[in-house]
Amino acid sequence: MRKTVTAMMVAAVAVTGAAASADAANKKQKVDPEEAIKYRQHVMTAVGGHTKAVAQIVKGKVPVPHHLGGHAKALVDMSRTTLELFPKGTGPDAGDTKAKAEIWEDWKDFRKKAEAFNKAAVNLVKAARSNNPKTVKKATKKLGDSCENCHDDYKKEDD
């Protein structure tokens, strides 16, 4: 028994150590702008997918209201990473991106818009738990507004 506990402790230390060195490696690793842009677009596409799925559920087009909470939670997780999707040097000069240069000039405001997205996603998780269609509708609208508020200022129009 004692041996098992020690082994578990060693394993726990190993995991913590591995996580710490992964963090250090990430910090040291140089950002490849083109990969960072692609990654950002993949994550945003995923965010778009969850948001469109939520809209279908809320409009009653698919009979899966119990999926709502899962989409909302995924959006919360992704909203926490938004700022990390925009490392310096991944603007319009760096590749095929719709991100505007103003993001890095108005970083404080950009951060606010990312925080509003996070808040709206957290709010949707709560709304999904309420099981109240009105509350869910309101929360969904708020979420959509949080995307638009950022896109309006910081994402180039589709051409």
Footprint of ligand HEC (CB under 6 A): 37, 40-41, 44-45, 47-48, 51, 82, 97-99, 110, 113-114, 117, 143, 146-147, 150-151, 154-155
N- to C-terminal Cα separation, the chain: 66
Query: 22 is written with which tokens?
Result: 């992964």
**In terms of CB distance, is 110 or 139 closer to ligand HEC?**
110
What's the CA gap between 75 and 70, in Å, rounded?
A: 9
State the minimum distance, in angstroms, from the CB of residue 14 to ligand HEC. 37
In the bound state with ligand HEC, the residue whose beta carbon lies nearer, of 23 and 138, is: 138
Smallest distance, Å, CB 90 to ligand HEC? Answer: 7
User: Where do we find the tokens 């506990």?
Assistant: 5
Nearest to 120 by CA among 72, 152, 156, 57: 72
We find the least distance from the C-beta atom of residue 93 to ligand HEC, in angstroms, to be 12
**Burial environment of residue 87 by CB neighbours within 10 A (0 to 12, 13 to 18, 19 or more):** middle
Q: State the minimum distance, in angstroms, from the CB of residue 124 to ligand HEC.
A: 9
DSSP-assigned beta bridge partners for residue 151: none
**For ligand HEC, the closer CB: 28 or 61:** 61
Comparison of 21 and 107: residue with beta carbon closer to ligand HEC? 107
